A and B are shown apart, each in its own frame.
Chain A
Amino acid sequence: MANLDPIADGQVANAEAPVGKGVAIRYLLAFAVPLLFPAALIALALIYLHSVGNWRPSRLLEALASMKRPNCSGGIGMCRSMFWQSVLP
């Protein structure tokens, strides 16, 4: 413990890279691109479900509610299967 000095000799001084506002905004936009994929997939899934008929958005809410039922206690796999059974046409 006597040698537990977190700051030892021979460290490299780190130079802070200056980030301009424009660079930061471009970075944040690119950062958001991967976040769009799940959103796009969900949108496509909803369009598909709607196109095959006999499906309405309220079923999604019903399905989510089904996951909170007391008999949904067989682990996450059980809950997921109940969810899909409720959602799919």
Chain B
Amino acid sequence: MLFNSYIFIFAFLPLTIVAYRGFWSVGGRKGAFSLLVVASLFFYAWWNPPYVALVLASILFNYLGGILLRSIHSRSGKPSFALLTVWVAVNLLLLGYYKYANFFVDTINYAANMHLNVGHVFLPLAISFFTFTQISYLVDTYHGAPSEYDLLDYCLFVVFFPHLIAGPIVRHHEILPQIWKSDGYLDITRLPAALTLFAFGLFSKTVLADSIAPYSTTYFDSVYQGLMPNFFSAWIGTLAFTCQIYFDFAGYSTMALGLAYIFDIKMPFNFDSPYKSRSIVEFWRRWHMSLSRFLRDYLYIPLGGNRRGKVRRYINLMITMLLGGLWHGAGWTFVIWGGLHGLYLCVNHAWTTLTRGRAWANVWPMRAFYYLVTFLAVCAAWVVFKAQNLMVMRRTLEAMVGLHGISFPIFFERFSILGRLGVRFENIVISESAVLWIAALLAIAFFMPNVQQVMRNAQPSFEPVKRPSRIAWQPSPGWALVAGTALVCAVIAMSSGVSEFIYFQF
């Protein structure tokens, strides 16, 4: 079930809220949370009911792992690394089988000219998310973190529907104490902020992201079918996808925050205007923040982080980002995307080291240059991320740097400076609406505060807002009208078709 579907908005969510309140009246905290677990499993089962068994088996297996790790630690006085290794390996094998079996077999077949066949392995929804969530639980338990929870609370932590399908990747010490302390009461005073977050998130997805999506999809599909892109169409297609993924992910993250807040659970922030970054390091502090944190704490730091010299640090960065890329999908384009970001991070750290203490590196033209370079680097990486195969990626990147010639539509002939720069003008058919949409969406991304900044007064996350905006939400009728209108526009926009979230497939 998708957050941006009629069945979710008009049936699942209202019924869950009403039933949650009803079960609380009858069974108190246990009743309310049991209902929430069942509702979350139903939410998951809507996609493919048999795979609920896989989720439940994974939960029981890891819950048992937590019990065993704690019991060995308390009996012998030291944690069992062997047990942790076995439990993490089983999780990774499960993920590896479902997500990467086809990819590895295809790669081996291609490289060794073999004909191995494992059949078509169907990828269970959200397997990456619930696996990572539980690996972090096991590793923290191994390190002695307090992790003794009731099975019901643990189930809710893993399957809670606002984060189950596409994150954020939550950690037990952030969420389970909230569940544990909560009395399960559905407080109406939280609904204004929670519904406003949901409305703004839905607007971001269905009005902004889905409106620009056809332009990027058309472009990449055309190149996949053999079209040789020109300079202009490659940039339009790339910028359209750059905007699409931004508002798609912003929308999902905001909706998840709002939905969890209805039930008095505060999620971590997962998105913080990443295109306002001045470096790639900053970009990864703002984009998919929960994944960055996971990769840092459970991969980069265990690999040695920056504690074993500069060379090792760069190697660790590359390994972390390559695996982070592979986490996104079983395909070489995702591996290259991760590798590219690893390379960007290495260059970023090297540049920071080289220019430390140099005044010229921090003057305003240089700062403006940093913003531009960061954004262009991210755009180039999105081409790799979106491309269906290496041919599409190569052709698009070549066209973007002008290797297929630089020509603009005749419309631009009126700007004489372009002619003087040697730009050719051709009868290229472009969609003016695409250009206008891209300009408007980039202006929002660069200059507007994001929803979490606007909603800081409501404090929907356990993390503080880093850069509060001047525009601040208040529980006033004016804001209610704005949010209600956003919801109506978003629901009307859904009539042209419901689309999946980009991160839904991971």
Contacts and interface: CB of A to CB of B under 8 A. Distances in A.
B76 interface: no
Given A17-B458, A21-B189, A30-B484, A12 B285 contact: no
Interface residues of B, number: 55
Contacts of B487: 31, 34-35
Nearest to A34: B484
5 contacts: A1-B284, A1-B295, A23-B192, A30-B484, A37-B488
A5 to B, nearest CB: 8
Given A12-B465, A14-B457, A26-B477, A4 B192 contact: no
Q: Give the one of A1, A31, A33, A34 with max B CB within 10 A.
A: A1
Contacts, number: 122
Given A1-B345, A14-B468, A28-B191, A35 B458 contact: no
Interface of B: 188-193, 195-196, 199, 268-269, 281, 284-285, 289, 292-293, 295-296, 300, 305-306, 313, 316-317, 320-321, 345, 349, 456-459, 463-468, 474-477, 479-481, 483-485, 487-488, 491-492, 496-497
A4 B284 contact: yes
Nearest to A27: B192
A27 B476 contact: yes
Contact of A7 (B196, B284, B463): B463
B359 to A, nearest CB: 22
Given A4-B281, A27-B192, A33 B481 contact: yes
A33 B475 contact: no
B466 A8 contact: yes
A15 B345 CA distance: 35
Nearest to A23: B475
Nearest to B299: A1
Contact of A33 (B456, B484, B497): B484
B105 to A, nearest CB: 31
A15 B296 CA distance: 30
Given A21-B189, A23-B475, A6 B289 contact: yes
B219 to A, nearest CB: 18
Contacts of A53: none
Interface of A: 1-8, 11-17, 19-21, 23-35, 37-38, 76
Q: Give the one of A3, A27, A30 with max B CB within 10 A.
A: A27
B56 to A, nearest CB: 31
Given A7-B463, A38-B488, A30 B481 contact: yes
Contacts of A14: 456-457, 459, 464-465, 468
Given A1-B320, A17-B475, A31 B192 contact: yes
Q: Give the one of B189, B349, B457, B464 with max A CB within 10 A.
A: B189
A29 to B, nearest CB: 8
